Amino acid sequence: MNKFLDAISEKLLPLANVLGSNKYLSVLRDAFMLAFPVTMFGSIIVVISNLPFFSDSLKKTLASLLGNGQAATMSIMTIFVVFGIGYYLSKTYDVEGVFGGAVALSSFLILTPFYTTTESGKMVTEVLSLERLGAKGMFLGMITAFIAAELYSRISNKGWQIKMPDSVPPAVAKSFAALIPGTLTLTLFLLLNAALTGLFKVNLHDLIYQVIQAPLVGLGSSIGATLIAIFFIQLLWFFGLHGQILVNSVMDPIWNTLNLENIEAYKAGEQVPHIISKSFMETFTVGLGGSGMTLAVVLIMAFVLKKQMYKDVGRLALGAGIFNVNEPVIFGLPIVMNATILIPWVLSPIVVTLLNYFVMSLGIVPAPTGVSVPWTVPVFFSGMLATNSILGGLLQIVDMVIVGCIWYPFLLVLDRQADYEL
């Protein structure tokens, strides 16, 4: 077993180090976190406007009164992500981040069509469709932001700037310094848009959506891809690496896009199109009760196992585990590099995720609506908020029982091994 683990570690750790140190993935993660406060506000508004015990007429009234709270946050999430990418990537080049973010956002808007089509087929000009600022424009926004911030930062670092005397106020000096790099970057995107719309009669929004975004979203919404992601999350954690950060930095753009499509459908009173989404991953997979679904494990350690050291670790980890923080048990049990519990550690989230997916696909429990639930919300409450149904909370309780059943025999073995060694 040790040779097997060493072989996996030898192959896996270099890849994990590459992902963890990649500046573009770090920038992408930080950009999504920049959007988190406003999207959380939008989610709260959606929950308040669609409480299950409200009548349809009351829901409609609340939607008309409070709808801007969601439209100005979650519906335009791409804007915040684009600005965040421009800001944080520029900072990595020691360039003023605010101007990098502004240039990235302007570049994205240059590529965005300022028209929409009504249900009757009539084209309305001089308007900006919210769907292009939300889920549909997410991938183009990310691509554009990275390219624009790269161009702006590299041009700035070449010294192609207007330098003002020291007597000029810093804010004015920085604006003039950003003038040439910003103008050159925006000019390139304007020429690109002119060429595509003038010569080929297409826009990058629709092109990127059809060629890149739609296939990736379709792949990311499949249960197969989800289980592979969960497997690697657990495997990375086993070797002491933060699996969620490493895997989510790659998958978050897809899951967040699925989330936005769900919330738009839910807001419109339609059935949510996806089971797999960011909300599903946060509340019904590895994050349930802490990384690896360990709340049930903590309870067994605290109140069932006989060895005092396990009781102490379990009771110390219980408070954090209630709020889905499980580093105390990961490093206190320990889970890291503990071959005895490798099987339940990897198997439990996969089994539970499969169960949750099929229960939701059969319509027994509603799929998550797309609202963002803070990952620290305790079990039962997070499931109820994510699905807008008490069934979501009850499903999480069932999940915990299943996890406990899978772990229990392995924990007994561990408990007896400890007694024997002493």
At 278-315, the pLDDT tens digits run: 999 989 988 888 778 889 999 999 999 888 888 888 88
CA dihedral (199, 202, 207, 210) positive or negative = negative
| Cα distance between residue 336 and residue 327, in whole Å | 10
Neighbours of 277 (CB within 10 A): 28
Find out whether 186 and 103 touch, Cβ atoms under 8 Å. Answer: yes
Report the pLDDT value the prediction gives residue 418, as an integer from 0 to 100.
Answer: 47
Question: CB under 8 Å, gap of 24 or more: what pairs does 263-268 form?
Answer: 263/42, 263/43, 263/46, 263/70, 263/74, 263/369, 263/370, 263/371, 264/75, 264/131, 264/134, 264/135, 264/370, 265/370, 266/46, 266/50, 266/369, 266/370, 266/371, 267/46, 267/63, 267/67, 267/70
> For residue 234, which phi and psi values (nearest 5 degrees)?
-70, -40
Q: Which of 83-87, 158-162, 336-340 ranks highest by mean pLDDT?
A: 83-87
Pick the residue with more confidence: 54 or 143? 143
Find out whether 328 and 313 touch, Cβ atoms under 8 Å. Answer: yes
DSSP letters spanning 174-211 = HHHHHHHHHHHHHHHHHHHHHHHHHHS---HHHHHIII
Q: What is the torsion angle, in degrees rounded to the nearest 10, for the CA atoms of residue 159, residue 165, residue 170 and residue 176?
A: -50
Question: 49-58, 278-287, 396-405: lowest mean pLDDT where?
Answer: 49-58
| Cα distance between residue 280 and residue 283, in whole Å | 5
pTM of the model: 0.79
Report the pLDDT value the prediction gives residue 363, as an integer from 0 to 100.
Answer: 92
Place of tokens 């989610």: 43
CA dihedral (338, 340, 342, 345) positive or negative = negative
Report the pLDDT value the prediction gives residue 145, as an integer from 0 to 100.
Answer: 96
pLDDT of 191 higher than 50: yes
And the tokens for 212?
């890149």
pLDDT over 90, % of the chain:
38
The answer, yes or no, to whether the previous bond of 334 is cis (omega within 30 of 0) is: yes
Find out whether 27 and 88 touch, Cβ atoms under 8 Å. Answer: yes
Domain residue limits, the chain: 73-220, 232-421
For the chain, what is the mean pLDDT? 86
